[in-house]
Amino acid sequence: MKKVRIMPCLDMKDGRVVKGVHFVDLQDAGDPVEIAKAYNDNGADELAFLDIAATIENRKTTLEVVRKISEVISIPFTVGGGIGSVEDAKMVLSAGADRVSLSSAAFRRPDLINKLSETFGSDKVVVAIDVDINDTMPSGYEVFVDGGNTATGKDAVEWAIEAERRGAGYLLPTSKARDGAKNGYDIPLLMGIKERTTLPVIASGGAGKMEHFLEAVEEGKADILLAASVFHFGEIKIDELKRYLNDHGVETP
């Protein structure tokens, strides 16, 4: 049986969990520490915390919130947003994170991936890749940075290949077109990355019903299934999702 892990994602802005559509129109979803504890207690296998405004506002991830969350959970915890150096990563890991996630900083200074992998080990390094559809790219997808606001002219799959070569341990592609739309993960994007890399891939952006999670595993070959709003607003319960996946031949912890 294919084994996958379920990863709720806390997108953070101004100290609160928020969720938007296509990276905009943000809605408040609650207190991050309370939500993190609830996910930990209700069967989540991992947790992601992304300070989505940190890079745009040119500041560091909120370490105090990271510390508070780490005190109330016992599952692997990935933190991203505003991590631009080995020292930044060290502070986040010291605050209780198990992994760090980089997007804009990794793209602008790819050698940072090498340095983090060499310093902490590749298992601690997640490279997040925000993309949008661009038919002029070889894969059909272009990398975007700065919270999905800035086009880079770089092909998404080629960047995923380079990230692996430089020492990334995980890849986290998010389709801007699918984010928050609840019409399913971008399966061709997942397939394109899985076919050209060997790393675990975290599916992100677009889950709206249980069938979408199954598609990401069966067709997209995803290893970890990340979602936000369907979990935050109670549209899908994690225990029910796990039962559904198990019933369809997908093993979860």
State the catalytic residues: 11, 130
Degrees (nearest 5) of the Cα angle 88, 28, 40?
65
SS3 of 136-171: the string is CCCCCEEEEECCCCEEEEEEHHHHHHHHHHHCCCEE
Determine how β-strand 5-13 pairs with β-strand 47-51: parallel
∠ CA(81), CA(159), CA(12), 5° rounding? Answer: 15
- If phi > 0 it is left, if psi is from -120 to 50 it is alpha, else beta; for residue 98 that is alpha
CA angle 187, 250, 78 (to 5 degrees): 70
CB 204 within 8 A of CB 177: no
CA distance 202 to 101: 12
For tokens 């997942």, what's the residue?
Answer: 190
SS (H, E, C) 184-246: CCCHHHHHHHHHHCCCCEEEECCCCCHHHHHHHHHCCCCCEEEECHHHHCCCCCHHHHHHHHH
